[in-house]
Structure 1
Amino acid sequence: MATAILSRPEITAAEWEARQQLAACYRVFDMLGWSEMIYNHITLKVPGEEGAFLINPFGLHFSEVTASSLVKIDIDGNKLSDSPYGVNRAGFVQHALFHRHLPDAHCIMHTHTTAGMAVSSLEGGLQPISFYACNFQGQIAYHDFEGVTVRDEEGERLLANLGKKRVMLLRNHGILVMGKTLPEAFIKHWSLQRACEIQLATLSMGQPLPVSDEVVAVHQRDLHMAQVPGGPGAADFAAMVRKVDRIDTSWRE
């Protein structure tokens, strides 16, 4: 299990709160089965620090991440806090790109879940065949696979393909979502993952029953009526953190 790296006096209260929220998120992802060995990333901007964000230490499993072991870096990949851990370039290049160019991308999540990779590898991508899939119709960007994301020059194409959308399926690769808050990004990822899981199950049974464009429009119009107060994903994420705490509270360290 990872041990604490930073002492509390070295960081602001706002940064510590962000660290705890992000560490909790890594544990939630692991609890939900979204870990991928020591790979994949969730990043979060540091409040009040321009160009600084937190990322998981390369080499730790999601289940080992703690608030103090998260690495603070700038958008050029330089460490801004003392840490014995490095950062995976395959995660840094992509996440730094979006943090640099998209002011509203406060939190960015990228995973290689089986369902997410399967749907991203399917011609036509996500289809309007379930409640959750209808959430995303017309809101998903796609980017063709170009190999492992370690080359800066791919960034221009990633940004161009993303456009004004904040949810992307990286073809043959996986899920990428962004949010103005971590809970918002979380509920987007959870909903998209569910949509992909349901599509995987439905297509295995036969011909899916598509939802019409007219019904999709009504569904998206009325979605806000089913949200709990507190902001997108806030109550959902809090519920998942409570579940994690019943298993292990070491992420708080």
Structure 2
Amino acid sequence: MKGKVPAWLIKLKSLELMDLSQNRLVGSVPGWLGTLPNLFYIDLSDNLLTGELPKEFFHLKALMSQKTYEETEKNYLQLPLFVKPNNLTANLQYNNLYYVPPAIFIRRNNLTGSIPVEVGQLKALQILELLGNIFSGRIPDELSNLTNLERLDLSNNNLSGRIPSSLRQLHFLSYFNVANNTLEGPIPTGSQFDTFPKSYFEGNPLLCGGVLETSCTAPSPEPAEDDEFRKTLVIGIAIGYLIGFSSVILVCARQ
């Protein structure tokens, strides 16, 4: 499939699962996707999408709370189909459509800008994968509102700042990957963060602590030889000036 995300999809008010991955879709992620009331599974991975993620995209009613998600009509249960979605790892055994989780996959595109804080509204979301884009700015603290989140992959972007310590509140989080960004500061400790491997944090030269086994306290730099020379020179000039000034006073006093 080529071109933009088809505009006629906005008419499918009963749409629950949408997989448009591995195509040649261009343009931006349309904000109107957030108006589809029953949509809880979106996969736009491996396309050519550009621009910023619109805030409206994260207004998905079916993901606003666990209650609204559970009240969503699961019409696909009537279909005698068995699948294993491409984006789910071997650790998540979703072989029947009944077990397809609330998820957003927008991996390996060319999306820019920051991750909208509105993502924190989707409290029923279990999987969020935005890896392989060009997202910048901080990791939103609002992600800590996603108390059902099990998998979060933000690797291979240009994210900066610190990893929010509030993410330790995500007690179901079993996968957290932020490798190859420009993050800095200490890796949160405690809770599930003590179980994540080193590879999930590598590629961030300014990250420290945790499994990286690097100190977060920079050692005091030793004075450079040039600095010592400058100090000696300044002291010498000051002494010379005082001696010269004293000589002038002595001459004046004799006169």
Task: Answer yes or no: same fold by TM over 0.5.
Answer: no
Larger helix proportion of the pair: 1
